[in-house]
């Protein structure tokens, strides 16, 4: 699609000091910008205050995908080390991956990782990717013992510039949602970071339902749109929406509650279901390449909790599509002028539509 008409809408200046590189001591201590429907004034709150804006019979939908330690360092026969990001497990032995300095690699080269031998070939279906075959098979359990957590590039870059450790023990727990359970993401669904176990219990006590789906977040989530992108094709991601979740969503609608997506990944998965099954929602497992922007017709989501995203991000296009372009642009300017923290370890906003 021609993305050029939308570039100006998602362009803004993000000062480096607004990029959060460390989590706050407590998850729910982050700030929350309330964006009411219509033209009501924005409200500056703490995330724990979200209880005030949630209603009995609402349903919060979380992405339960878990970030795995996808960064590995592979050694060629001549001792040269190559940094690798595993992206997706295709079979028991084969992974789709990105490899730094890949131009120096050939399919005839043999690589090693610990006691594994690796053969590689270019992925003909997706530019910039390799297919790595591990012998013996490499499991998620193996990776958790030997790999490295892939923090977002902008966090690593800023920590390096400030002389801070690039990865800390705290990241092991805080760069995950408390509901993360299924390995498969190389980037976290960060809107869920703000929910502590104690806050979730208080939410449930208010007769609000929690449910989960799975969207394994790929590296494409960090891709920004460039003015040189005359044609833009959004990345695809694997999703699973089980029957139990579908039943919960149907019951929420029947009872008059709101479906509130926790994050853009949950939104993308839910609206994929809404497009595939517009009349009667059904379970779904498979890839989605849904691109939400402009005047997209939201069929499922009534509310959205999300962090503040990068300039020129497809995620920002999604947020503007849901909340209204000018409304969201004004909210971002408010957040910048009121000291909000941006991106993965930053603060959040909550917006909803009245029925």
Note whether residue 206 is domain-resident. yes
Q: Are residues 98 and 235 in the same domain?
A: no
Q: Are residues 324 and 274 in the same domain?
A: yes
Map tokens 């995620």 to a residue: 315
- Check residue 8 and give its pLDDT: 86
Note whether residue 192 is domain-resident. yes
Q: At what angle do helices 314-323 and 325-337 cross, to 10 degrees?
A: 110
Q: Are residues 208 and 302 in the same domain?
A: yes
Note whether residue 334 is domain-resident. yes
Note whether residue 237 is domain-resident. yes
Q: Are residues 212 and 333 in the same domain?
A: yes
The DSSP code for 237 is: E
Looking at 146, 181, 213, which one is the last position of a domain? 146
- Check residue 1 and give its pLDDT: 62
Note whether residue 14 is domain-resident. yes
Q: Are residues 242 and 305 in the same domain?
A: yes
Q: Residue 195 sits in which domain range?
A: 4-67+169-352
- Check residue 20 and give its pLDDT: 97
Q: Are residues 29 and 62 in the same domain?
A: yes
Q: Are residues 233 and 122 in the same domain?
A: no
CA nearest neighbour of 346 among 158, 182, 169:
158
Read off the pLDDT of residues 37-74 as tens digits, 9 standing for 90 and up.
Answer: 999 999 999 999 999 999 999 999 999 999 999 999 99
How many separate domains does the chain show? 2
Q: Report the CATH number at residue 111.
A: 2.40.10.240
Query: How far is Cα 189 from Cα 176, in angstroms, rounded to an integer?
Result: 8
Looking at 146, 178, 196, which one is the last position of a domain? 146
Question: In 3-state terms, what secondary structure has residue 293?
Answer: coil
Query: How far is Cα 307 from Cα 321, in angstroms, rounded to an integer?
Result: 15
- Check residue 89 and give its pLDDT: 94
Cβ(309)–Cβ(343) below 8 Å: yes
Query: How far is Cα 192 from Cα 8, in angstroms, rounded to an integer?
Result: 29
Q: Report the CATH number at residue 253.
A: 3.40.1780.10
Q: Are residues 235 and 117 in the same domain?
A: no
Q: Are residues 207 and 308 in the same domain?
A: yes
Query: How far is Cα 145 from Cα 134, in angstroms, rounded to an integer?
Result: 16
Backbone angles phi, psi at 321, to 5 degrees: -65, -40
Q: Which two tokens stand for residue 40?
A: 């009501």
Q: Which two tokens stand for residue 280?
A: 């009667």
Note whether residue 158 is domain-resident. no
Q: Which two tokens stand for residue 45?
A: 């709150």
Q: Are residues 208 and 195 in the same domain?
A: yes
Q: Are residues 259 and 182 in the same domain?
A: yes
Note whether residue 243 is domain-resident. yes
- Check residue 316 and give its pLDDT: 96
Question: In 3-state terms, what secondary structure has residue 210?
Answer: strand
Non-local (6+) Cβ contacts of 351 within 8 A are: 35, 36, 37, 303, 304, 322, 323, 327, 328, 331
Q: Are residues 288 and 177 in the same domain?
A: yes
Listed as ranges, residues in the chain with pLDDT below 70 are: 1-2, 230-231
Looking at 93, 115, 146, which one is the last position of a domain? 146
Note whether residue 151 is domain-resident. no
């Amino acid at each position: 699609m021609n993305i050029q008409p939308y570039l100006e809408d998602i362009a803004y200046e993000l000062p480096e000091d607004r990029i959060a590189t460390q989590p706050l001591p407590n998850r729910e201590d982050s700030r929350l910008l309330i964006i009411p429907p219509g033209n009501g004034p924005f409200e500056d709150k703490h995330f724990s205050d979200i209880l005030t804006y949630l209603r009995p019979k609402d349903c919060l939908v979380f992405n339960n995908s878990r970030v795995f330690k996808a960064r590995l360092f592979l050694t060629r026969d001549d001792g040269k080390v190559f940094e690798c990001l595993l992206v997706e497990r295709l079979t028991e032995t084969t992974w789709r991956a990105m490899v730094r300095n890949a131009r120096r690699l050939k399919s005839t080269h043999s690589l090693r990782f610990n006691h594994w031998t690796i053969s590689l070939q270019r992925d003909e279906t997706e530019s910039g990717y390799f297919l790595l075959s591990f012998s013996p098979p490499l499991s998620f359990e193996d990776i958790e013992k030997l790999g490295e957590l892939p923090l977002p590039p902008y966090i690593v870059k800023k920590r390096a510039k400030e002389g801070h450790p690039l990865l800390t023990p705290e990241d092991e727990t805080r760069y995950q949602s408390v509901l993360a359970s299924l390995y498969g993401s190389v980037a976290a669904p960060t809107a869920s970071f703000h929910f502590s176990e104690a806050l979730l219990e208080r939410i449930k006590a208010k007769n609000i339902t929690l449910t989960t789906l799975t969207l394994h977040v790929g590296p494409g989530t960090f891709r920004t749109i460039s003015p040189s992108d005359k044609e833009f094709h959004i990345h695809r991601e694997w999703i699973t929406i089980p029957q139990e979740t579908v039943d919960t969503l149907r019951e929420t609608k029947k009872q008059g509650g709101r479906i509130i997506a926790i994050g853009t990944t949950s939104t993308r998965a839910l609206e994929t279901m809404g497009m595939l099954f517009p009349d009667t929602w059904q379970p779904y497992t498979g890839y989605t390449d849904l691109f939400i922007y402009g005047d997209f017709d939201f069929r499922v989501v009534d509310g959205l909790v999300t962090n503040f995203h990068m300039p020129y991000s497809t995620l920002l296009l999604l947020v503007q599509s849901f909340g209204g372009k000018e409304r969201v642009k004004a909210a971002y300017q408010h957040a910048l002028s009121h000291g909000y923290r941006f991106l993965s370890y930053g603060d959040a906003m909550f917006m909803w539509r009245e029925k």
